[in-house]
Amino acid sequence: MTDGTLIRMENITKVFYTDEVETHALSGVHLEIRKGEYVSIAGPSGSGKSTLLALIGLLDSPSDGTYTLNEHSVAQLNISERSRIRNREIGFIFQSFNLIGDLNVYENVELPLTYRGMSSTERKTRVQQALERVGMNHRTKHYPSQLSGGQQQRVAVARALAGSPSILLADEPTGNLDSRNAEAVMDLLRDLHREGATICMVTHDPRFASHAERQIHLFDGRVLEETVEVN
């Protein structure tokens, strides 16, 4: 991109309507993420962190404001176009891993690539490379139920990486892990960032938020402050 900006959000608002109640999840949020950045979005429960991540990942649409991804406005995208961009541009890492129990490790990582019409040879190369990067290439035939939580999250990271996305979105990636596995996953994300990955992570844990080079703090749907880590 000409100025290196991958994501630009301006005056983003998100309102949820239930019966006669309006819930303002986000109010006037401005956010920019440049290519190669590692950004954390932190804040207490109910501050709008996951809502913001869902908007970035095109899983939902804002009530107002503008969102530009890779210099393209996403406002007029239809459902199929949003799905295509999610598949090609965005890698998701969820707290609950979201692996398919009936598929083995290799098949879980390969599945999103099949939707691209990619050749089996290219899929195989990408899957093997992604699993090697997360240290799980020796578990290709295992099923999620045969893996620890930390191993499942590594497979989920590999699945996100295999598509060579523009950005990795991690929603509380350590939420279901013990402290040892949580630190291991954070170390993995840090290594990926050092290799050039763009990462945006939601976390409520200040220890893990500090792993990012830039922290955005939300409170009641607004950006309260922004801090930059000095390493």
At 158 the pLDDT is 96
The whole-number pLDDT of residue 117 equals: 84
How many domains does one find in the chain? 1
Nearest by Cα to 1 from 38, 39, 32: 32
- CATH code of residue 187: 3.40.50.300
Q: Residue 101 in contact with residue 146, Cβ under 8 Å?
A: no
- pLDDT attached to residue 226: 83
pLDDT at 231: 54
In single-letter form, the type of residue at position 50 comes to S
What is the rounded CA–CA span in Å between residue 186 and residue 180? 10
Structural domain of 41 = 5-228
Tens-digit pLDDT profile for the chain (231 aa)?
Answer: 346 899 999 999 999 998 888 999 999 999 999 999 999 999 888 899 999 999 999 999 999 999 999 999 998 899 999 999 999 999 999 999 999 999 999 999 999 999 888 999 999 999 999 999 999 999 999 999 999 999 999 999 999 999 999 999 999 999 999 999 999 999 999 999 999 999 999 998 888 999 999 999 999 999 988 888 655
Distance CA 197, CA 56 (A): 16
- Which residues of the chain form beta strands (DSSP E)? 5-18, 21-34, 38-42, 64-69, 72-73, 90-94, 167-171, 199-203, 214-219, 222-228
Contact between 155 and 136 under an 8 Å Cβ cutoff? The reply is yes
User: What's this model's pTM, rounded to 2 decimal places?
Assistant: 0.89
